[in-house]
Structure 1
Amino acid sequence: MEKRSRKEILAKKIMKNAGLEKPSADFSANVLKAVEARQKVLKYEPLISRKTWFGIAGAVIVAVIGLYVISSDLALNIDFSFINALSFPKLNLSSTMMYAVAFISLFFLEIPFLKRFLVKQYD
């Protein structure tokens, strides 16, 4: 036979003395009413708002117009020689490393948006 600890024996005695409780006759109905009362009606809310879509559309339009102006004869005579004065370090990364950095940066950029979406959904 297995040796039982004092705690196991005591727990078994307490369980025998306590007995089983029986739920009331309308227990299921009460549980369903409580669940229905806690349910919220979720309204549809897009992940990207209307203001954001207008901002994206505006940025695309400005970019297209800007590229057209730069490539056409309408180009403004702006001196961009100050860019040559800036010195940036040259990094020699393999393509695998560049893909990994891009993936991780996109992943970390996406986390705040998903967190905000989930918080709004469950609040």
Structure 2
Amino acid sequence: MTISPIQLVQRHLREATSLPVVSKVPPERPPRFVRVDQGVPQRINLDQYETTIIIQVYDQTRSAAFRLISDLLVFLEMDLEHDDDVSSWEADGPVDFPDPDLPHLSRWQFTGQLITTLDY
């Protein structure tokens, strides 16, 4: 694999939505966006890493955020299985995850365990 797990997931999500897909909440927050974060990759054998991926959707209403996060969850389940760098993807969620800093927006989240294969 030549890109990081977060970059890999962001690349796939950008195929699924025209909304901004970012790793940090922008200082000038748009009313709708997708945020991707990751935990520390853990080497599980000589050829693979396992990484926790966190995907959050911000939208103006709870129902809109839920629809978007649900669509992205299904998209990743289907799309990641065709990526040669991905050995496994297992997601949990989505869950309602209000952001105390942005009470006017709704935030939903799901997490996934991504196992990627190393390039030598």
Above 0.5 in TM-score?
no
**TM score, norm. by length of structure 2:** 0.22
Higher gyration radius (CA):
1
Instruction: Provide the TM-score with structure 1 as the length reference.
Output: 0.22
Greater fraction helix:
1
More strand by share: 2
